[in-house]
Amino acid sequence: MRKEQSSNFINEQFLFQVCELNSAVSVISGRWKSQIVYSISQGNNRFHLLLQELTNISETVLARQLKELETHAILVKQEIPDSVPVGVEYILTNKGKDLVPILESLCDWGKTYAEGKEISI
Amino acid sequence: MRKEQSSNFINEQFLFQVCELNSAVSVISGRWKSQIVYSISQGNNRFHLLLQELTNISETVLARQLKELETHAILVKQEIPDSVPVGVEYILTNKGKDLVPILESLCDWGKTYAEGKEISI
DNA sequence: GCAATAACTAACAAAATTGTTAGTAGGTAA
DNA sequence: TTACCTACTAACAATTTTGTTAGTTATTGC
């Protein structure tokens, strides 16, 4: 639980007010988040598929990251009707879908300036 | 200091290998980082100017964030010649400059889907 | 009945990030 | 000489994030 009187929390709120950039970055920050969004966009939209894709993630951690993405309205859960045992699909919202091309440009940027290349001004 | 045997560190390395997206996101994650990059791109390229802009940041924290951005080759420090007392300018590298439009699209995305709007699929 | 699958949750522990306190250097202005 | 400015750093404490352990519910196949 966040301590709402902490400097940490207050500074975060301050930045959220300065510019939407800061809240946007905070939504995609988090160990597995951007990879989860990207994996879902590629069709890995089931809990167990994501567990497979993200080799080292635990069920607890995956569930938590998914819930946070849901809180930020990046995705929604949908029960698959008549599935046995009951299955759940994770669907990107429009907000989540619009994020994907931005993640792709971040990925391209990362590739362009991968480690070991010279620094240029 | 990172513990190189921790699950946390190992998982981070795993994600860095999966896709450059993950290292790219980790570079801009951090309480003040994206705002610092944006402020420098707007001309606030001196230590004391950034201290003013980012009202609540402390000198220690600003220095640390700047050093991390320097480590990731987003910016470089340059002493201003003949300045008294000695001044330092922070200059975005090409890597840093290329990041700015991506941060702007993240900002636009944040504005489009600001809190309180309905979730659409 | 027993194990297995899908999709979780609570409580706790480990680790990482962020913030605070106190101090540095070299020079200026009063 | 005393205080102030610019631009830091080290050591530590507070807070947050991430990972672990041990469970849950409901159903199917053997």
**C-beta separation of B87 from A97 below 8 A:** no
Residue of chain A minimizing CA distance to B96 = A121
Give strand ranges (E) for chain A: 75-80, 87-92
Query: Cα(B110)–Cα(B42) distance, rounded to whole angstroms?
Result: 20
Domain boundaries along the sequence of chain B: 33-110
**What is each CA distance from A74 to A91, A99, B11, B55, in whole angstroms?**
9, 8, 23, 30
Residues of chain A with pLDDT under 70: 82-85, 115-117
Nucleotides of C under 7 A from a protein CB: 5-11, 14-23, 26-28
Among A106, A111, A118, the strongest candidate for a mutation testing the B interface, having the largest count of B CBs within 10 A, is A106
| Segments in chain B below pLDDT 50 | none
The answer to whether some atom of strand C lies closer than 7 Å to the beta carbon of B31 is: yes
Tell me, rounded to whole angstroms, the distance of Cα A45 from its chain centroid: 13
| CATH class of the domain defined by B33-110 | mainly alpha
Radius of gyration, alpha carbons of chain B: 17
pLDDT at A99: 97
CATH number among 3.40.50.720, 1.10.10.10, 1.10.1750.10, 2.60.120.10, domain A32-108: 1.10.10.10
- CB of B120 within 7 Å of some strand C atom: no
The tokens for B84 are 């008294």
Residues A102 and A87: beta-carbon distance below 8 Å: no
State how far residue B8 is from chain A, nearest Cα, in angstroms.
9
Long-range contacts of A113-116 (CB under 8 A, 24+ apart): A113/B73, A113/B94, A113/B95, A113/B98, A114/B20
- Please report, as a single letter, which amino acid is at residue B7: S
Of B7, B82, B96, B81, nearest to A109 by C-alpha is B96
